[in-house]
Homo-oligomer: A and B are copies of this chain.
């Protein structure tokens, strides 16, 4: 009977929405500090680990590159003195997130437009029957894809 309570890698993976493979990988590349082991050598994760891993997951899910996460993790290990630098990383990432949100929102709007257009096309087909086979509109460009927000 081996002790050291804490979460197994399997459990941890489930709790954090990632695979055990990924958890080991993150540890290998220094995103996670060497994890406590049970007597048999198996990893045992703490709540603090979970906290950190959730954070990692959140950063990855928002497209922070592994390299940047490594930089952040390394600073974190050096304690409060690196606060300013770490804050800078997070601020930059937050700005990047804002940029992504904007881009997604523009695309979302464009899609709303295009989807409405498809509904119209389907309507016309239903009315006109299977007659007019293609492109009864001006161009065969099916709609105004050109409704695109200006790049900054």
Chain A positions within 8 Å of B, measured between CB atoms, are 17, 48, 50-52, 54-55, 58-59, 61-62, 76, 79-81, 83-84, 86-87, 90-91, 93-94, 97-98, 100-101, 103-108, 110-112, 114-115, 118-119, 121-122, 125, 133-136, 139-142, 145-146, 148, 151
Contact = CB atoms under 8 A, between A and B. Distances in A.
Copies of chain A in the complex? 2
18 contacts: A51-B145, A55-B145, A79-B135, A79-B140, A80-B133, A80-B134, A80-B142, A81-B133, A84-B122, A86-B118, A87-B115, A87-B122, A90-B111, A90-B115, A90-B118, A93-B111, A97-B108, A101-B105
Contacts of A54: 145-146, 148
